[in-house]
Amino acid sequence: MSSTVLITGCSSGFGLLMGLDFARKGHRVFATMRDPGKAAGLAAARDAEGLDLYLLALDILDEASVQAAIAAAEAAGPIDVLINNAGIEVRGPIEECGDAVARRQFDTNVFGTLRVLRAALPPMRARGRGTIVNISSIAGLVARPFGGLYSASKHALEAITEALHYEVAPFGIRVLLVEPGQYATQLLDNAVTAVAFTPASPYWQRSQQFDVKVRALAGADAHMAAEAHRQLSFEQYEQAMRGAIDWWD
């Protein structure tokens, strides 16, 4: 049975891959992003394969844009599955992340998701069915150095998702959470770096060393880190993680 799926953040990474995967499996997909002009790959695949896939402008930072996109999809839908995937990662040590970049991190990953949820939930609730999938990260369970704001935003998303599960279940709406580990997407390439975080920063060298250590890990790191975090004391967990990536600075 086919469904209508709306996905945020489809210009690259998981969003692009999910959009193609759902469409290739016979679902109607609304692949959304701030600028649909950046979706040449999606458009080419859609046209070449005859996919039931539509590119839709949706800026999660703009309430009017969110409302318009959800309304447009509902008019052609209705939306059966909403996947909140759009997000950014701020890089930098806590000390060097100013208010502006901190607000940008939370406005995108937390408040942006809330804007989409508020727009999509009323019609789902009225129909008595629907599925919401929030894309978090292993960082939502375990904070990593030089990415503390990103981890904090994903921790917030975890709490929102857990509470939402209980709130909307009586209306027939399922809420799911996905916590990927380190994958070769464009998230890091598109990361926002704190202004003060330059080679002159006292944290710069350690950050470069850490990035080299974790770059070799793939999806399995999420399972390893999550299990270790649950089962060990923080001191034991720290030693286990440092040993896993040989990072003792």
The closest alpha carbon to 114, from 139, 82, 150, belongs to 82
Instruction: For residue 167, count other CB atoms closer than 10 A to its CB.
Output: 12
137 SS3 class: coil
The closest alpha carbon to 210, from 138, 137, 140, 143, belongs to 143
Task: Tell me which of 54, 150, 166, 237 is the catalytic residue.
Answer: 150
Separation of alpha carbons 220 and 49, rounded Å: 32
CB 193 within 8 A of CB 150: no
Our answer to whether residue 237 is catalytic in this structure is: no
H runs (alpha helix) in the chain: 13-24, 40-49, 63-76, 99-106, 112-127, 148-168, 204-214, 220-231, 234-245
What six digits make up the tokens of 121? 């939930």
Characterise 179 by phi-psi region: left (phi > 0), alpha (psi -120 to 50), beta (else).
beta
Sign of CA dihedral 178, 31, 111, 101: positive
Question: Which residues are the active-site residues?
Answer: 150
